[in-house]
Amino acid sequence: MAELSTIARPYAKAAFEYALGSQTVSEWASMLDFVAQAVSNDKVAALITNPALSSEEKGDVVLKVGEGHLVDKVQNFIKLLARNNRLEALPAIRQRFDVLKANYDKTVDVEVTSALALSDEQLQRLTDKLTTKLGRKVNIETQVDSSMIGGLVIRAGDMVIDGSIRGKLNKLSETLRA
């Protein structure tokens, strides 16, 4: 089977374009998140990959799980995915949809790992600097990793800024070994 991210791309794009046109992007994001989590559940995943079930029955499983949470257009989208044997791609579709939404909203999710918890003032300064540098609204999620010794590691998409002491020591060690 083709890579799930490759399969997900056209479906996510179509869903996003429809949601954008109907001004329901946030609702679609929420519903796709719900069904993506549902198909990631071990029991549901076992059912939708069961070769004894028809594609329609697999779609019905997902629709039953999402009953009361999904609007008609999303239900039709699930049926289309089931008919094309693409239900397993729902998590990748949701992920790609989220990327399209973030690009449209001009936002970026940033993961900041530090040796110590950041104060509100430090977090605000970092948010302001990253907003300026990236030209987007920044949503920061922080983590504490005491093994870093000090400094920060910032991840935004495929960009990584390693300003940690551990990272600098590793670079120094590599330089000395060369």
Tokens found for residue 58:
């697999």
Q: Class of the 4-102 domain?
A: mainly alpha
Give residues with Cβ within 8 angstroms of 26, minimum separation 6: none
- pLDDT, residue 157, reads 77
Rg of the chain, C-alpha, whole Å: 21
Q: 2 falls in which pLDDT band (50, 70, 90)?
A: low
- pLDDT, residue 159, reads 86
**Domain ranges in the chain?**
4-102, 107-177
Burial code (b: 16+ CB inside 10 Å, e: under 16) for 82-119 equals beeebbbbbbbbbbbbbebbbeeeeebebebbbbeebe
> 108-162 pLDDT, tens per residue?
889 999 988 999 999 999 999 999 988 889 999 999 998 888 889 999 878 898 8
> 11-37 pLDDT, tens per residue?
999 999 999 999 999 999 999 999 999
> 39-51 pLDDT, tens per residue?
999 999 999 999 9
